[in-house]
Amino acid sequence: MTAWLLPVIWLVLLMGLILGMPQLETLLRAIEPSSREVLYSRDSLLTLLISHILVVGVASLLAIIIGVGASILVTRPWGRDFLPLISQLASIGQTFPPVAVLALAVPWLGFGTVPTIMALLLYGLLPIVRNTLVGIQGIEPAVLEAARGMGMSPRQRLWRVELPLAAPVIVAGIRTSITINIATAAIGSTIGAKTLGDPIIAGIVNGNTAYILQGAVLIALLALVVDSSLERLGHLFSR
């Protein structure tokens, strides 16, 4: 139970700030004394948090399904010819700026959540693909040979041997991908997606540092909650 203490602390702090933000108005006023308003009020911060989590969650789920699935396929004997292609495509998704993805996607998909999810999906693939490949390819050949000797079919070897042994490395890649996307999702607010980036964009437009701080601190705390939780899950898989 104490192993989960840190994620719980970050979660309590996150929810405490969201629900208790009005009590910090005096502090925010001291940071931005020239602004008429220092509390972001266009949307509920709790609503933005939920929307932010949903956007990142959908994009991350798709990235996990596609990334892990493609990595498994190219590590099978009949799919190894596609290994360089999958690796290069995942790398391109990481190096292509999310802002550029949004700019290209908006004319086709419109403004809002869908192009944001697409950008996060492409941006989050590389850590998942890379770690899944490393995890599966790093299994000792002797272990796989022993599984064959026990009469396991290829499917049984995958589910009972390869994936369980590779799980800690795969979870580490998922952890990196989701943590990056929690921060990156804020850019979705530039095209109308509801995220915790809304206060940041509003603060930049209006020159209001208090708005920027509210969005940035909440995103950072959300990332800490998720990162520390996935770290604990990684330890469980390692055991």
Q: Which overall architecture, per CATH, does domain 43-238 show?
A: Orthogonal Bundle (1.10)
| Rounded CA separation 56/7 (Å) | 18
Residue 181 and residue 128 in contact, taking contact as beta carbons nearer than 8 Å: no
Per-residue model confidence as pLDDT tens digits over 140-186: 888 888 888 888 888 888 888 888 888 889 999 999 999 989 988 99
| Nearest by Cα to 59 from 222, 174, 223 | 174
pTM for the predicted model, two decimal places: 0.88
Per-residue model confidence as pLDDT tens digits over 7-37: 889 999 999 999 988 888 888 888 888 878 8
The residue ranges of every structural domain in the chain are 43-238
Read off the amino acid at residue 154: P
